[in-house]
Amino acid sequence: MGQLANKVAIVTGADQGIGRAIAFHLAREGAAIAVDYAHHEERAREAVRDIEQSGSRAFAIQADVGNPDDVARLFTETRQRYGRLDILVNNAGIEQQANFWEMKLETYQHILGVSLTGAWLCSQHAAKQMIDQGAGGRIINISSVHEDLPMPTNAAYCVAKGGLRMLMRTIAVELAPYKITVNNIAPGAIDTPLDKPVKEDPKKLEQLLAEIPLRRMGQPEEIGQLALYLASPAAAYVTGSTFAIDGGMLRHSGSL
């Protein structure tokens, strides 16, 4: 039996990339997974098949985390199917780059709605259920190095991740009496489909690698392994922290 046997996890945005890798790592250690997705049903069902082949349980559910009704349904259906909730991974997020003075308000609101308000809503539902269960729990947010590191033309995304940092720090203190830990994972450049344009442009790729002391992009599986640690019994005394996984990018930039 794995170290997460009999645990139940919701992973938002779990149909691809980092979210999918996290879902698989948690499942491999025995957790049953609610694979949340926003748009791509077939990718989510493929993730479920991969998890089931590993010997664990999973189901796919469409829910826009920026929509309160969708979030309520996500948690209700997970509870109806598995009876409890032990781990929430707030992975869903979006970005859209534009000059600060040209970004439309609706774009800004949409980015914050998914990347920050979505994490707020999901964490609220998770906290209520975990408190009612009385057995503690884990809330893990997938943030970014840009919760600290400025990124011109990406102000809305940086605002969302900076807000996620303070949300994590605040509720970590508030939820600690209930044995609910809250932490952020802050990836740097990770090799996902979103970074395909950078990888295909040698000049852009070299500029990126020049900012990373380890001279490579991270892999989604590496994020999955860190999330597994934070969800595991080994991290029972870990709360209120951001864990950068960036190949040294933050240190190289002089941030923090």
pLDDT digits (tens, 9 = 90+) for 128-143: 999 999 999 999 999 9
- Per-residue model confidence (pLDDT) at position 193: 77
Mean pLDDT, residues 103-120: 97
Cβ partners under 8 Å of residue 55, min gap 6: none
Burial class (CB in 10 A: 0-12, 13-18, 19+), 134: exposed
Domain ranges of the chain: 8-246
- Helical segments of 196-248, H only: 196-199, 202-209, 220-231
- Per-residue model confidence (pLDDT) at position 255: 60
Catalytic residue among 37, 157, 229, 237: 157
Query: DSSP 3-state assignment of 142?
Result: strand
- Per-residue model confidence (pLDDT) at position 195: 78
Is 157 catalytic? The answer is: yes
Query: DSSP 3-state assignment of 168?
Result: helix
Q: Is the pTM here over 0.75, yes or no? A: yes
pLDDT digits (tens, 9 = 90+) for 184-205: 999 999 998 777 788 888 999 9
Residue bearing tokens 């295909």: 200
Q: Could you tell me the pLDDT band of residue 101, with boundaries at 50, 70 and 90?
A: very high
Query: Beta strand 242-245 with 32-37: parallel, antiparallel or unpaired?
Result: unpaired
Assign a CATH topology to domain 8-246.
Answer: Rossmann fold (3.40.50)
- Per-residue model confidence (pLDDT) at position 256: 56
